[in-house]
Chains A and B, each alone.
Chain A
Amino acid sequence: MTDDSSKTINASPTKEFFISMLTRDISTDRAILDLIDNSIDAATQSNKHDASIKLTINSNSLIIFDDAGGLDLQVAKEYAFRFGRSSKSPLTPNSVGQFGVGMKRTLFKIGQEFAVESRKNGVAYKVHVDVEQWLAEATIWDFHYSLLEATDLDEGQTRITVTKIRDDAQALLGDPIFQNNLGQEVSAAYFKKINAGLKIYINGELVSSDDLTVKTSQGLSCLKKQIISDDVLVTVYCGVSDRDWDEGGWYVTCNDRLVAQADQSDTTGWGINGNPKYHADFAYFRGLVEFSSSDSSKLPWTTTKTGVDRDRKIFKAALHHMSLAMKPVLTFLRDLAQEAAAVKEGTLKEAPLAASIANASSTKILVATTTADFVRPEKTLPPDGAKVAYIQYYVPIDKYEIARSALSANSKKEVGERTFDYFFTYECKK
């Protein structure tokens, strides 16, 4: 018989359940970005804007090495390896890591064995975990570290090595297409940090920043407005760039980390608040909204940083200002589409709006000259009575060739117009 005098029921989580829940809702590429976030936070904390982060990946291992300042042993012992951020853990102002799950989630998702080595304040140490062994001990959650007498790490450097790569991650990490995509994601996610001097290498290749650009000139501007709400600075930029369906939309950063890219959904205001849904005419639109706060828990990001938490009050507040900012730009783009249609049907000879985009220069949105209101050229209206009908019909090609030859015409359009004029002249009352 068991002793049930305490009348308690064991409801503590198993490690297996915990790890499976922790790692299930994040993709491998996003998990790797979480590791980079950690390095960036270290750089922010040590005020090192020109840190370099070197990522080496293949099907057997993943290594991330940085010179961002290192991880203090005391912090590692008390906070960094805890699952979830303790309320007592010291805040990193303007950090991109926030939930206290990023590094652990990545390590458990990708490999069965990992080692974290760092050297800070003259102390070098290594935390080594064999996941199978760790899981075998059901109730003890601790990891163990050892001090390193001899190490190749310099002061302020950290190296994380993941080995015994899990089956599902193995194929991915060795796949050149995955590596390319990862490069593109890194390039977009950290475009602001890279611009500010951060260097990220993937398998030895330096990643360039994938900058958001806008077209500006004297007659065409990029709008910028700022609000502060609940200790969060929100900066909204809106403008136009080259027409590109995939690139058009809203970009959202939280403490300089891109969390939503070219969003074209109602989350960022499309199809709500009187704004139209995203469509081809708006493929010129570029919007950037930056949320910055020394307290990263106030930012509207999801734990996976793959989108915004639209229910957060700060995001709803920003959405109102985003909506106001995008309206004049969308009006301009609607006018542009109407202008193109009028030019096509021949009721407008000039296209000042299209010319304003063609003649503007492309500039990185963060350094573009901005205005409080969107500056744009006035639209030109077609003259009165210029309403036209568009006619389209099919004829056998041999008959068309005979007619074209008889008319000495050079195009189908000309054949159509001149045959219509001929009929109208002789058969219609004017």
Chain B
Amino acid sequence: MSNSGRKINYAVRPAKNIERKMMRDFFARLSHLGRIEDYRYVGFGSKYFADFIVFHRFLNISKMVSIEGDIHNKERYEFNKPYPDIVMEWGHSSTVLPRLVYSDQRTIYWLDYDKLFDVSMLADTAVITEAASSGSVFCISFNCQAPDFADGSVEGLKDELTKQVGKKHVPSTLECRGWKLRHTIFLKNCVTNEITSVLNRRNLTLDPTQRLRCEQKLFFTYADGAPMATIAFIFLDQEDSLKIHDCRHADLYFTRNGNEAFDISTPNLTIKEIRHLIEIRPDQKKLNTKVFTEKDADSVWQNYRYFPGFAEVESF
């Protein structure tokens, strides 16, 4: 969406880089539901189109739509499009999405917001849920920083949450203690509840075979400067519900269908250090503890296949 605030190329944010590749592998397994090449991708490409490049290159998705709110620099975004087929849709997601969600087109939606969670994200969630087809995937990323609330009181917390997610999502009883640790789960559940509520109404006029349910498949947390979370859901009718098991998403060690997030940890290491850690993996005895902590090594080893190898390339 609005990219004016994005100062850093997403391609070089390490956790984001890892996340993108994990999502690529997750999407690749959707081929058991239907040809992945026939999926459409709708995202916020920004000026870098990092996600568009990965999903086109590795998944061969060619129907791609980028939503862009920065309508005063259209030429620049058009110039940066890596593929001419990418369709730019100008405007904020809330105004653009309603005409992009069709029930007859399997789509991967990734609303990759770079801002604090707010109630407009729940509105976008509802817009997609209202019309998404079976087999479509809805991913949402947001800054999950917990709010500071006045005096640490329940009322202060309720006020802040009401501002963030709207009154209907705030429970009448809340426990403030430990809220910061639970805030991301709270936000995830707000998204889940919004989906459930919209689907319940949508299903009322559908035949039993067409009725949709929604499964959470991914729940990432990471920090590229700000605390971020990504959740992915898939919409399934009766037929796709039977096929989804063939996708064997659970074989991917990072999938999560509950409240426990998969945290993408990216220690601050040099390229040489990362390469060394991958070479000695998984031998703890070879770890030079004067250079590395065990935690750093675990972080690299856990995601070594996805770990980015950044290097500066003098191309001009």
Contact = CB atoms under 8 A, between A and B. Distances in A.
Interface of A: 227, 229, 272-276, 313, 316-317, 319-321, 323-324, 327-328, 330-331, 334-335, 381-382, 384-387
Interface of B: 71-76, 90-91, 94-99, 122-127, 130-131, 198, 200-202, 204-205
Given A320-B130, A323-B130, A328-B99, A382 B71 contact: yes
A317 B75 CA distance: 44
A313 B204 CA distance: 8
A331 B95 contact: yes
Nearest to B199: A320
Contacts of B90: 381
A159 to B, nearest CB: 44
**SS class, residues of chain B in contact with chain A:** helix
B99 A274 contact: no
A235 to B, nearest CB: 14
Contacts of B98: 274, 327-328, 330-331
26 contacts: A273-B198, A274-B94, A274-B123, A274-B125, A274-B198, A275-B123, A275-B126, A313-B204, A316-B201, A320-B198, A321-B205, A323-B130, A328-B98, A328-B99, A330-B98, A331-B95, A331-B96, A331-B98, A335-B95, A381-B90, A382-B71, A382-B72, A384-B72, A384-B73, A385-B72, A387-B72
Given A273-B198, A316-B200, A382-B72, 6 more contacts: A273-B126, A274-B198, A275-B123, A316-B201, A316-B204, A317-B205
Contacts of B205: 227, 229, 317, 320-321
Contacts of B95: 331, 334-335
Contacts of B76: 384
Contacts of A320: 130, 198, 201-202, 204-205
A57 B12 CA distance: 79
B123 A386 contact: no
A302 B237 CA distance: 34
A327 B123 contact: no
A382 B91 CA distance: 12
A276 B72 contact: no
Nearest to A275: B123
A229 B123 contact: no
A327 B102 CA distance: 13
B71 A274 contact: no
Given A276-B123, A386-B72, A387-B72, A324 B201 contact: no
A227 B125 CA distance: 24
B163 to A, nearest CB: 15
The 7 tightest CB contacts between A and B, nearest first, are A274-B126, A274-B127, A317-B204, A327-B98, A274-B123, A320-B201, A387-B72
B46 to A, nearest CB: 17
A387 B94 CA distance: 21
A327 B124 CA distance: 12
User: Which residue, of A324, A385, A387, has the highest number of chain B Cβ atoms within 10 A?
Assistant: A324
Given A273-B126, A381-B90, A229 B204 contact: yes
